[in-house]
Structure 1
């Protein structure tokens, strides 16, 4: 048991990677939509590439979403409006009319027969007017039903009337009566007319929902054994609908019963294979990232983020799957690492998502092309215009790609879903969120982006301002080294921004004892003259340790602190070692060596060469082309012989290119002119 725990502890980094791998596979498969995968790929307008396909089971042909929506729209357009007939209102009107007639009889003289005639006329008029009822608001629908005495009675449009039309009908009815007092009766009835038909929203919606629920989502059956499509036959519109219905039926059947576990196993194996490819790539081509669990976690986190976002979109809003800004992934990874890694991870993520998205071929094609465009166009993201230009090109690729696929499928430009253009534009706007996302990732995972490097390179920042005040000579030396190192990095394709920032901060440890370093001595007094060589060497060597402490105290990123650690590697403080040998021939060189480590990247190697060359160049008197050439060669050769570049991924050819740049820059610094032959 103890040995097992020891092995786990010794290989904890590898154990963590296994754990991250298993958790990532499990999470991805968990978020996958619950459905099997149809074994045939087909596209509208393309030939059927497989053998003749016969229906393996009985299944229904599903209507398309557009067909269903058209039926729903037709039902809503022709829906029946229900109105409630209020008998209470009619009774109130009758009572008010009766009171008006009684008042009329009291003010004027009528015979008994005239009174009876007027009362009968009022009843006839009210019965006729309220036969179908009077609408409060005239109905807009041609299908109108009045619920009267719990019975539904349809009303023809020519029977529709509101209060104004009812008043006209009363006037016309009584004008034909030709009896005494009808004009006064007409006024009484018209003044008391009220609407008694009221729109019943609850009943109308209930009836509409009932009609909508009767819509059939299928249109026909296909019997088992029937030929669906022959080999080489073009997949036309009807064939496409039948094949899509078979696919849906097949996938839903697959996920039932014992098939569930086999499908789960299949998904798990495929996702596991994809993520294994990522680990193999990192181990073979990006070993520094593979050994850094923080960076590996960051990469897997981004993959999971995109997979979860896309699978959730497919599950709830399948038609808007392109709204997920997948190109953020290569943008972010290129910003923190490099273009090759960013594209490789993007392609693997798209392959994983190909299992779950509709029209997987189109999706994979468009997303890979968009990812390539992202990698090729996105550079120097700290310049805001570059990000906007890149996002514009990504959006254009989506739109052009959609046009192309639509033309292939339909053979024309009819029925274009214009809403997808809005989706592509929204995708582009969401891709702009890469900038704040990069900032968040920097804080969460402790990484450094070009934006942060740009901020660190500001010479008015607190730490560099302090360096210029306390050790102005060192500050000027750092600026010179930054210029040399940046030029060399550009020459061999290294990260020039990172090298420049590393050069600006590499000697901040000299702020502790600035006068012990020659570039800060403004008088002829050298404090080392009063110290033994061993103690002087310790002060010089300690500026590396003190620089690391100052950098950490000021929250300088580890990626920049690496330049402070490695800019002297494990070289010897040669001047004081020689002075010690004059006192003691058996002096131990280990006491005069920097603690290291040696440079482990192109950038840190460039800084070591630039720092040594710039510092030593101050001793040159009357330099010429030949002197500078031999001088640079001697310094770099000494570093190579001391095995300072063994761990750096810099080639001999690149070292030669760096030396060439250093020679050119020193020539410019000393303003040398061409030497003409005598």
Structure 2
């Protein structure tokens, strides 16, 4: 995947014409454009001004206090005349002059007021009666409230003064002498009430800046089209996405290295744990690696064609091949795991010509096809079942592709739809064909006992099976009977029934070396053991296990079948010859009459050993009844359990109970009662 992430370097200059359409290989933020947009938004924010409503009330209160002061001065001016007596009248000599009143009034007012309001205005107010002052105060306050209730910026103060002047000038119920005074007071009261708010302005500007989304150049976005002039801005964007200087770019390779390392580490830990728990399955890592590498190479070859502008050629990739091979040869969980890894690899390899990009649609397609292959492939399959699974994978591929195309809401021609459908169908069929074609190489090269191999070994025309049939026909019939029992029992507990059946076919092949020494082959002949000492008979009987294992090894048979032939008797005791020998020599050792073993290491080998003993024991009965059969099976299983023959396998007591029930049902079906037909008389 190195070339799929290597950044593409362009030889372009400013103010030249682009000879191809250039797209961004990555998604990156254009910080310069983002800052420029933020500055533009900030400058578009107008200054914030706020109206101070307290100013209007303060100015009204000020005017009111002026009228109150006028009233107070007038009242004080009348007090000296009233103090001379109730009947006397004030004289001109005791009256306070207007100038004196003005002086007293100014003492009550602030310097700002006295400087702003003309003396003539104050004198006119002092000369007015109390009733006139009340009317004038009401009219002035109303006019000031009316004008100050609206905003008055600094440049609108004079206009506001004119408005209050016009309103007071047009007021009625007051004489013209005092009207000029209240106009002067009204103009004095009107001041600016709208002021610049720096805090509010800054908040709005910050909001405008924060509202700007980062300007990004998206992966796959067209930066410059073919034939377009490369301006300074375009050239800057090309440099921003790394298309101008890629000699010192290491991030894509570091990223690819981390992805590959994570996948390899996960595979390593999983396969190591799998081999630790399945000691018989050696070479798993090598098999898995070869399958994975083959898939990666096919994917890489298809990605090279995609660079030649063949649209979406990656959909021809046989996504289910690796998954089906690994399920058949190793296990289902690892098959799903490899599908996920191939999905990630496909997203990188089929990146539509954009280095470092991810083709998510291709990843979904590979994932769906691979998992479909795992699910539709039956556990015990024939080659026709693999082809059937491939056809079902093709159906899932079609559904997946159509789903993605419709989600994109693209406008495709009929030929394009036909291309996608053809690629989906071929992907599933090619996956099945490659699985069928590659499988024999792995079975032969790694001596894998797959389902396919077991079916081939079960063929009665196999040389070893024909050898048993011709040289030891009784043993062959016995093996077939044991196979029926063992397969049913293994299927009942979830073990490999097909392995048990085929193992039974070959488990007594050692008897072909001396077939006449085994009772099932002694038809119309004497028993040679009657003329032999117990030790010699014991050696002949025990040898059939080791002889069978040697014969299978020399024929390069799978190790699982060799183990079954070697382990199906475990270290059990040859009771008949042991007791016969003990009659002659009470001091004979029991160990001398036991099979060399080893004990059964797998559930299949253990069940075959039980079925072997059960079949031989039941066949020795003349007319077995269901109760006799059930009691016999129960005793044989209990004897094996107490003798420690099942200590090295994974059989549980619950599974042994299921095995017992299955053997009982099968044998009852075989030895059912029949109608006794009468003899024909001449």
- Give me the TM-score of the superposition, normalised by structure 1: 0.62
Other structure's SS at 1:577 match = helix
**Corresponding position of 1:581:** 582
Q: Structure 1 residue 275 and structure 2 residue 82: aligned?
A: no
Kept in 1: contact 2:573–2:593 (CA 8 A): yes
Alignment of 1:143-292 (within 5 A): 215-218=19-22, 225-227=32-34, 241-242=221-222, 256-260=246-250, 263-284=252-273, 287-289=276-278, 292=281
Q: Structure 1 residue 369 and structure 2 residue 362: aligned?
A: no
Structure 1 322/464 Cα, relative in aligned 2: closer, same or farther at 3 Å?
Answer: same
**Corresponding position of 1:454:** 455
Structure 2 CA distance for aligned equivalents of residues 527 and 476 of structure 1: 21
CA shift for structure 1 position 672? 4.5
**Corresponding position of 2:492:** 491
Structure 1 239/278 Cα, relative in aligned 2: closer, same or farther at 3 Å?
Answer: closer
CA shift for structure 1 position 237? 13
Structure 2 CA distance for aligned equivalents of residues 453 and 482 of structure 1: 13
CA shift for structure 1 position 309? 2.3
**Corresponding position of 1:328:** 321
**Corresponding position of 1:55:** none
CA shift for structure 1 position 584? 3.2
Structure 1 CA distance for aligned equivalents of residues 238 and 454 of structure 2: 52
**Corresponding position of 2:539:** 538
Kept in 1: contact 2:383–2:436 (CA 8 A): no
Structure 1 227/617 Cα, relative in aligned 2: closer, same or farther at 3 Å?
Answer: farther
Q: Structure 1 residue 651 and structure 2 residue 640: aligned?
A: no
CA shift for structure 1 position 435? 0.9
Kept in 2: contact 1:407–1:413 (CA 8 A): no
Structure 1 545/34 Cα, relative in aligned 2: closer, same or farther at 3 Å?
Answer: same
Question: Please, which moves more after superposition, 271-280 or 292-301?
Answer: 271-280
**Corresponding position of 2:430:** 430
1:274-332 deviation line (CA, Å, top 9, x unaligned): 23333433444553546644232112211122123223432443532232212111211
1:442-489 deviation line (CA, Å, top 9, x unaligned): 222221232222221122322212211111110100010111112222
Q: Structure 1 residue 337 and structure 2 residue 330: aligned?
A: yes
1:51-101 deviation line (CA, Å, top 9, x unaligned): xxxxxxx999xxxxxxxxxxxxxxxxxxxxxxxxxxxxxxxxxxxxxxxxx
CA shift for structure 1 position 497? 1.9
CA shift for structure 1 position 33? 3.0
Other structure's SS at 1:433 match = helix
1:381-414 deviation line (CA, Å, top 9, x unaligned): 7544423321121112112111111222236666
CA shift for structure 1 position 269? 3.9
Structure 1 560/470 Cα, relative in aligned 2: closer, same or farther at 3 Å?
Answer: same
Structure 1 291/518 Cα, relative in aligned 2: closer, same or farther at 3 Å?
Answer: closer
Structure 2 CA distance for aligned equivalents of residues 369 and 361 of structure 1: 12
Structure 1 CA distance for aligned equivalents of residues 410 and 501 of structure 2: 55
Structure 1 CA distance for aligned equivalents of residues 552 and 571 of structure 2: 20
Other structure's SS at 1:594 match = coil
Structure 1 611/272 Cα, relative in aligned 2: closer, same or farther at 3 Å?
Answer: farther
- Give me the TM-score of the superposition, normalised by structure 2: 0.61
Question: Please, which moves more after superposition, 327-336 or 236-245?
Answer: 236-245
Structure 1 607/254 Cα, relative in aligned 2: closer, same or farther at 3 Å?
Answer: farther
Q: Structure 1 residue 421 and structure 2 residue 225: aligned?
A: no
Whose Rg is larger? Answer: 2
Q: Structure 1 residue 35 and structure 2 residue 36: aligned?
A: no
In structure 2, stretches of 5+ residues that fail to align are: 38-209, 226-233, 352-357, 675-682
Alignment of 1:275-674 (within 5 A): 275-284=264-273, 287-289=276-278, 292-317=281-306, 319-358=312-351, 359-379=358-378, 383-410=382-409, 416=416, 418-431=418-431, 432-523=433-524, 525-672=526-673
Structure 1 CA distance for aligned equivalents of residues 506 and 280 of structure 2: 26
Structure 1 580/344 Cα, relative in aligned 2: closer, same or farther at 3 Å?
Answer: farther
Structure 2 CA distance for aligned equivalents of residues 399 and 237 of structure 1: 33
1:141-163 deviation line (CA, Å, top 9, x unaligned): xxxxxxxxxxxxxxxxxxxxxxx
Query: CA RMSD for the aligned pairs?
Result: 4.0
CA shift for structure 1 position 657? 1.5
Structure 2 CA distance for aligned equivalents of residues 417 and 244 of structure 1: 30
Structure 2 CA distance for aligned equivalents of residues 310 and 243 of structure 1: 29
Structure 1 546/231 Cα, relative in aligned 2: closer, same or farther at 3 Å?
Answer: farther
Kept in 1: contact 2:23–2:224 (CA 8 A): no
Structure 1 CA distance for aligned equivalents of residues 418 and 442 of structure 2: 35
Question: Please, which moves more after superposition, 662-671 or 588-597?
Answer: 588-597
Structure 1 218/479 Cα, relative in aligned 2: closer, same or farther at 3 Å?
Answer: closer
Structure 1 219/357 Cα, relative in aligned 2: closer, same or farther at 3 Å?
Answer: closer
CA shift for structure 1 position 232? 13
Kept in 1: contact 2:18–2:224 (CA 8 A): no
Structure 1 270/650 Cα, relative in aligned 2: closer, same or farther at 3 Å?
Answer: farther
Structure 1 CA distance for aligned equivalents of residues 561 and 650 of structure 2: 18
In structure 1, stretches of 5+ residues that fail to align are: 1-30, 39-57, 61-212, 674-678
Structure 2 CA distance for aligned equivalents of residues 650 and 592 of structure 1: 26
CA shift for structure 1 position 552? 2.8
Kept in 1: contact 2:600–2:648 (CA 8 A): yes
Structure 1 CA distance for aligned equivalents of residues 343 and 303 of structure 2: 14
Structure 2 CA distance for aligned equivalents of residues 436 and 339 of structure 1: 20
1:336-388 deviation line (CA, Å, top 9, x unaligned): 23333332333344345444443443333322222222122112675444233
Structure 2 CA distance for aligned equivalents of residues 367 and 224 of structure 1: 37
Alignment of 1:57-206 (within 5 A): none
Kept in 2: contact 1:36–1:254 (CA 8 A): no
Structure 2 CA distance for aligned equivalents of residues 298 and 630 of structure 1: 47
CA shift for structure 1 position 223? 7.0
Kept in 2: contact 1:633–1:659 (CA 8 A): yes
Structure 1 CA distance for aligned equivalents of residues 590 and 314 of structure 2: 65
